[in-house]
Amino acid sequence: MAIQLERDDVDQAKDEWEQLTLLPFMERRPERRSSFRTLSGAELQRLYTPADVADVDYLATIGFPGQPPYTRGPYATMYRAQPWTMRQIAGFGTADDTNARFRFLIAQGQTGISTDFDMPTLMGCDSDDPRSDGEVGREGVAIDSVDDMLDLYRDIDLEKISVSMTINPSAWILLAMYLVAAEERGFDWKKLSGTIQNDIVKEYISQKEWVYPPKPAIRLVRDTIVFSTRNLPHYNPVNISGYHTREAGSTAIQEVAFTLAGGIGYVEEVLKLGIDVDSFAPRLSFFFVSQIDFLEEVAKFRAARRVWAKVMRDRFGAKKAESQRLRFHTQTAGASCTAREPLNNIARTAIEALAAVLGGTQSLHTNGYDEALSIPSEPAMKIALRTQQIIAEESGVAGTIDPLAGSYAVERLTSDIEAGCFAYFEEVEKRGGLVRCIEENFFQQEIADAAYDLYQRKERHEWELVGVTKYRDDTGNPKVELHHVDEAASERQLQRLRATKARRDENKVKTALAEIARVAQTDENIMPATLEAVRARVTGGEIVNALKPIFGAYVEKPIF
Amino acid sequence: MPIKVLVAKPGLDGHDRGAKIVARALRDAGMEVVYTGLHQTPEMIVTAAVQEDVDVIGVSILSGAHMTVFPRIMKLLEERGVDDICVIGGGVIQENDVPKLKVLGVREIFDADATTQNLIDGIERVVAEFGRARKRTGAATPAS
Amino acid sequence: MTRSVPVRVHRDLARAITAIENGYASFGDTLATLPARENGKASFVVGVTGPPGAGKSTLVDRLIEKFRAGGETVAVIAVDPSSPFTHGAVLGDRVRMQRHSGDTGVFIRSMASRESGGGLAPTTHDAIALAAHAGFDVILVETVGVGQVELEIVAVADVVAVVTVPALGDSVQTIKAGLTEIADLFVVNMADRPGASRTAVDLKHMVRESGRDVAVLQTIASEGTGIDDVMVALTAARASESSNAGRAVRFEVVRNIRDAAVRRALAVLDAPRGRSVLERLRAGELTRLEAREELLVYALAEVINAD
């Protein structure tokens, strides 16, 4: 009753304000657009009042940090205990080259490691595969065997720093290599912390790194989740991702909805084995983008946490609070960075980083100003890292939890994004579930349509890009020093690969590959056989190729 | 007659948002667009271009491997005796590599900020200047 | 897969198709550009049609594999609709067949339907003839089956396979009854989906009622299941007398008459007599019904009296 009265009062007062103050003012000074939209295309109201959030009950909907529905954050003290992990991604050339960059970043204050692999490694090809020509060590680090993995993290204490690896179709193999490297260096698996991205579902819909068709690929994800649950208490076996979906042009609602739909799919796969949801759900982690539309992004992160908490509780009956708790890494949006006037990207990245922090991220990579031009250079990474440190140390926002809670605009946007997600979940069910939707290009079509819509809004100047479509200065486009690609790295890696193959026991290789192939045709967990193979210095490409005849190869059906 | 364009995605990179938007925009401009799909080798690209007998091959490349991919494509076209298909490119291509690509015979490189209108105009210009207008007047040449 | 076709022939054939597609040269002239082939065997033309999303391209990909394993060279013509507004098109069918890219015994060509309103491109028939002349043993023609294209494919193909997917709920209402007249083979693809058997049974029922002997098969093209049965059916139809070839000729005759009649009728409408009827309609002296009746009389008279 009290809420209703208040809403009526406010609505009435707003009507009066519109009549007496707003409209006369608009006659003298009209608004510059007939409507204002977020980056995703959602309508932004002129003004949000308590009436707009009358349906948002603080206790039930917003709540407290560290407990369901987790809207305000996954931990009770958030950044007052420790800031988010500052985790700048690095990867280029050979393992030695990248190891040097890791040590530079740690010396500059980075608190977590994030590894970017070259296209061949990402696609399950060895450096000597014909398809790898021209791409070895170019967009990331080349890793063919455990020998590379040992050099990659040399002199880094794996029990003290968490290591994230951005790897998908061959994630289970890279995890095995990481574990064997850790084992050979005397680290205890139970003390390792880190993440593999290992989110194959989003590959089919956005990042497009795939080898096998969806069904066997999801089985591999399932196996890593199960293995990790049993053996790696501090490890996140998946980083279920929305970043790539958004970069492919989706809306904020689609980013969250399609990501969580993928998460729901993985949970269902593991549950089919009869494993209790509370035993593995707490270690599922997520990865979102932080785009430039500030308010929408803050709302998005909060909505994601609330949606997942409800899904885990209502759909899967999770009993442990930690099972409902969504934790995520964020990367600021590559797609928002321009090639023109690259230093402007420092400002963009700072705004996006702030949104991620106000959205409660656990881990953050900030892009370099050269993001649209090349893989990050050292100076660009240093400024990006400093940006995070300035937010943490100087801006004050880390001293209080979820400060934008209660903002009428932010709470309204949060609830709207939540509603949009549940609408998509219903649609996915109606269409026959996750795998069917992938096969029928449902997600892909939604993303393509959203991407095309944004492109048209840009062409109509409804969304401007400063320095490019507006305030364009054709006299000056500052050049920046870019990361220098070492063309000799490729040859060095091929030598490393030859040396590994020369040293190993070929009989062990054959036996190991035969065993992996055997396991692949059953429903046994693939990890033990993979670990054995990796110990014998079988390469990633050899394992991937051995399974192609068994699992098949995926061919997309492109939609426009 | 509609201009026929092959939109090609060489290499292992899966970022096709730009290529797909371009395909749609070119269609909306009245062109016929053949999309190769992802993970193409230069051989696959040239085979498709020859069979489809396109006017233009548009290579979308963001991986930085353009100095491997373009020379390979140009060489294959030459080996197969194809001298009337124009090659253009776009994506993440360093400015100082552009002149080197032009020396190889690549007609136009579009930078990351180019609009689709720039692209449409560019394709029409390239086809008008270097395309097969000369073949339009007569029958195809007799078998050699 | 020992037989291959020289790359030079790929290029000449591709250029010849472009020439007739764009009207640069007549069919006869382009034929002269292709080197004479010694292969005396007639090409086998298979039409693959059906609604979008049925998996035609995936099926065609499997058929290429089978024909190649049998030592035959294959040309594929994949027709996709042009936008009725912009007249542009995105042609993406070859993506599903790309594993044959390195096989010179396979030639894949995409064609936009252009003015034919979603059906076969007007020059598809000529393109097929050129591919046959270039010596390809098998020619697979893939089209989206909407509207009148099902009839047109009869004109170009020796055998027509209609591909559909299991329909949920009331099954074959999505398949127009007329398809049983033209199909030599029905393929229910994605047969692992619910409703596959029901759809197959309903199709068999429709086929029985039509009195023709048409196989109804189930496939999972993405997994390669059921493809051998399709090949058996195609081979049987290839050898059989009752396949499409006779119908193709009859259809072509009908189409020629229809085209000629339409041309005559339009000529009448444009002539003074026809134009004056339209003037009187505009001036309100005739109702629409009266104008139509009068024009029909003139047009029919012209068509019937045509020499």
- Cβ distance C88 to B32 less than 8 Å, yes or no, reads yes
pLDDT over 70, % of chain C:
84
C-beta of residue A436 within 8 angstroms of C-beta of residue A447: no
Shared-domain flag, residues C32 and C162: yes
Centre a 10 Å sphere on the Cβ of residue C238 and count the other Cβ atoms it contains: 15
Convert the pLDDT of each residue in C288-303 to its tens digit.
888 888 888 888 887 7
Give the count of alpha carbons within 13 A of C298, CB side only. Answer: 20
Answer positive or negative: Cα dihedral of A34, A38, A41, A44: negative
For residue C70, pLDDT beyond 80: yes
- On whether residue C1 sits in a domain, the answer given is no
Burial of A194 (0-12, 13-18, 19+ CB in 10 A): buried
Q: Are residues C53 and C160 in the same domain?
A: yes
* B117 contacts A131? CB cut-off 8 A: no
Is C297 contained in some domain? yes
3-state secondary structure A91-121: CCECHHHHHHHHHHHHHCCCCCEEEEECHHH
- Alpha carbons A331 and A356: distance in angstroms, whole number: 9
Q: What is the dihedral of CA A193, A195, A196, A200, to 10 degrees?
A: 140
Taking alpha carbons only, the member of C248, C130, C135 closest to residue C182 is C248
pLDDT at B138 exceeding the cut of 50: no
Nearest chain B residue to C91, by CA: B34
Nearest-Cα residue of chain C relative to residue B24: C90
Helix (H) or strand (E) holding A163: strand A163-166
| Chain A: residue whose CA lies nearest to B44 | A131
Residues C167 and C296 in one domain: no
Task: Please state the ipTM of this predicted complex.
Answer: 0.90
Whether A548 has its CB under 8 Å from any CB of chain C: the answer is no
Identify whether residues C229 and C112 lie together within a single domain: yes
What is the maximum alpha-carbon separation in chain B?
A: 44
Give residue B134's pLDDT. Answer: 43
- pLDDT for A286 equals 98
CB contact under 8 A, A558 and C92: yes
> By the CB < 8 Å criterion, does B118 face chain A?
no
CB contact under 8 A, B113 and A340: yes
Residue at C58 is within a domain = yes
CA atoms of A451 and A15, how far apart (whole Å): 37
Please list, in sequence order, all residues whose beta carbon lies within 8 angstroms of the beta carbon of residue C80, skipping any fewer than 6 positions away: C89, C90, C91, C92, C93, C110, C111, C112, C113, C144
* pLDDT surpassing 60 at residue C173: no
Q: Tell me the residue type at A413.
A: L
Please tell me whether residue A303 adopts helix, strand or coil conformation.
helix
A-C contacts at Cβ under 8 angstroms: 17
- What is the amino acid identity at position B42? P
State the amino acid at position A547 in one-letter form.
L
Q: Tokens 């959203």 belong to which residue? A: A450
Distance CA C63, CA C80 (A): 19
* Dihedral (CA of A101, A102, A104, A109) sign: positive
Residues C81 and C112 in one domain: yes
What pLDDT, on a 0 to 100 scale, did the predictor assign at position C116? 64
Residue C28 at interface with chain B, using a CB cutoff of 8 Å: no
C-chain residues near B36 (CB < 8 A): 94-95, 98
Q: Looking at C191, C220, C242, which one is the last position of a domain?
A: C242
The verdict on C232 and C189 lying in the same domain is yes
Name residue, tokens 């050099």: A151
**Rounded-to-integer distance, Cα B25 and Cα C167, Å:** 34
Give the number of other CB atoms < 10 A from CB of residue B75: 13
Using CA coordinates, name the residue in chain C closest to B137. C24
Q: How far is CA C147 from CA C53, C69, C122, C144, C152, in A?
A: 16, 35, 15, 9, 10
Q: For chain B, list the domains and their CATH numbers.
A: 4-137 (3.40.50.280)
User: In the prediction, which pLDDT does C247 show?
Assistant: 62
> Which residues in chain A have their CB less than 8 angstroms from residue B71's CB?
none
Single-letter residue type at C98: Q
Last residue of some domain: C242, C259, C280?
A: C242
> What does the pLDDT average to over C217-234?
95
Q: Which residue of B has its CA nearest to C95?
A: B37
**Distance from the A15 Cα atom to the nearest Cα atom in chain B, whole angstroms:** 43
Q: Read off the pTM.
A: 0.85
Position C2 pLDDT exceeds 80: no
pLDDT value at position A297?
98
- Neighbour subunits, B (≥3 Cβ pairs < 8 A): A, C
Q: Which of A382, A377, A381 is nearest to A481 (CA)?
A: A377
How many angstroms away from the CA of A203 is the closest CA of chain B?
9
Query: Which residues of chain C have a CB within 8 Å of the CB of B50?
Result: 7, 10-11, 14
* Residue at a domain's end among C187, C215, C242: C242
Residue of chain C with shortest Cα separation from B133:
C24
Residue C205 lies in a domain: yes
Neighbours of A411 (CB within 10 A): 24
| Of A245, A244, A227, A243, residue with least CA distance to A235 | A227
DSSP string, A215-260: HHHHHHHHHHHHHHHHH-TTEESEEEE-HHHHHTT--HHHHHHHHH
CB contact under 8 A, C19 and B139: yes
Q: Is the pLDDT of residue C144 over 90?
A: no
Does one domain contain both C128 and C219? yes
Instruction: Provide residues of C within 8 Å CB-CB of chain A.
Output: 53, 57-58, 90, 92, 95-96, 98-99, 222-223
Q: Which residue of B has its CA nearest to A370?
A: B92
- The SS3 call for residue A541 is helix
Q: Residues of chain B whose C-beta is under 8 A from some C-beta in C?
A: 1-2, 4, 23-24, 26-37, 40, 43-44, 47-48, 50-53, 80-82, 135-136, 138-143
Same domain, C148 and C18: yes
Rounded Cα distance, A121 and C135, in Å? 43
pLDDT band, residue C151 (cuts 50/70/90): low
Encoded tokens for A502: 């020369």
Q: Across the interface, do C53 and A440 touch by the CB < 8 Å criterion?
A: yes
CB atoms A455 and B92 under 8 Å: no
When pLDDT is cut at 50, 70 and 90, the band that residue C171 belongs to is: very low
CB atoms within 10 A of CB C214: 23
Q: According to the model, what pLDDT value does residue C16 have?
A: 94
Nearest to C260 by CA among C295, C218, C303, C297: C303
Q: How far is A261 from A240, CA to CA, in rounded Å?
A: 10
| Predicted local distance difference test score (pLDDT) of residue C1 | 44
Percentage of residues in chain C having pLDDT higher than 90 = 36
> CA-to-CA distance for A366 and A136, rounded, in angstroms?
25
Contact present, A307 and A260 (Cβ < 8 Å)? yes
Q: Kindly state the tokens that stand for A353.
A: 């980083």
CATH number for C66: 3.40.50.300
In terms of domains, do C206 and C256 share one? no
A264 three-class SS: helix
The verdict on C266 and C208 lying in the same domain is no
Task: Collect the ranges in chain A with pLDDT lower than 70.
Answer: 1-5
* CB–CB contacts below 8 A, B to C: 114
DSSP-H helix ranges across A431-526:
434-439, 442-459, 489-503, 506-520
Label residue C144 left, alpha or beta by phi (over 0 means left) and psi (-120 to 50 means alpha): beta
Which residue has tokens 């309204």? A412
* pLDDT of C150 over the 80 cut: no
Q: From CA A219, how far away is CA C184, in angstroms rounded?
A: 40
Chain A residues close to C89, C-beta within 8 Å: none
Question: Is C79 inside any structural domain?
Answer: yes
* Minimum-distance CB partner of C96 among A440, A552, A555: A555
Distance CA A219, CA B66 (A): 36
Direct distance between the N- and C-terminal alpha carbons of chain C, in angstroms, rounded to an integer: 53
Amino acid in position A422: F
> Cβ contacts of residue A21 below 8 Å, gap of 6+?
none
Q: What is the chain A residue with the closest CA to C53? A: A440
- Distance from the Cα of C152 to chain A's closest Cα (Å) equals 26
Whether residue C2 lies inside any domain: the answer is no
**Mean pLDDT, range C199-218, rounded to an integer:** 87
Contact C96 A552 (CB under 8 A): no
Q: A558: which chain C residues are within 8 Å (Cβ-Cβ)?
A: 92, 95
C205 and C88 part of one domain: yes
Provide the 8-state DSSP code for A18: I
Cβ-Cβ contacts under 8 Å, A451 against chain B:
17, 20-21
Given a cut of 90, is residue B127 above it in pLDDT?
yes
Phi-psi region of C189 (alpha: psi -120 to 50; beta: other; left: phi over 0): beta
Q: Report CB contact under 8 Å: A338, B38.
A: no
- How far is A365 from chain C, CA to nearest CA, in Å? 35
Exposed e or buried b per residue across C113-149, where buried means at least 16 C-beta atoms within 10 angstroms of its C-beta: bbebebbbbebbbbbbbbbbbbbbbbbbbbbbbbeeb
Domain count of chain C?
2
Question: Contact at 8 Å (CB) between B48 and A155?
Answer: no
Neighbours of chain C (3+ CB pairs under 8 A): A, B
Length, in residues, of chain A: 560
Of A285-299, A395-409, B38-52, C113-127, give the lowest mean pLDDT range.
C113-127
The answer to whether residues A208 and A269 touch, using CB atoms and an 8 Å cutoff, is no
pLDDT for the residue B142: 39
Amino acid B137: pLDDT: 39
- Cis peptide bond prior to A130, omega within 30° of 0: no
Residue B55's pLDDT is 96
Domain that holds residue C151: 7-242
* Cα–Cα distance measured from residue C302 to residue C307, given in angstroms and rounded to the nearest whole number: 10
DSSP structural state of residue C24: S
Determine the residue among B5, B7, B9, B12 to mutate to test chain A binding: the one whose Cβ has the most chain A Cβ atoms within 10 Å.
Answer: B12
Chain C residue whose CA is closest to B81: C8
Map residue C46 onto helix, strand or coil: strand
Contact B41 A131 (CB under 8 A): yes
Q: What is the pLDDT of residue C289?
A: 87
**Do B27 and C83 count as a contact with CB atoms less than 8 A apart?**
yes
Indicate if C264 and C136 belong to the same structural domain.
Answer: no
For residue C251, give the nearest of C187, C176, C155 by alpha carbon.
C155
Chain C residue with minimum CA distance to A431: C168
Q: What tokens were used for C234?
A: 């195609």
Domain assignment of residue C285, yes or no: yes
Coil, strand, or helix at residue B117? helix
Query: What distance in Å separates the CA atoms of residue C119 and residue A131, rounded to the nearest whole number?
Result: 39
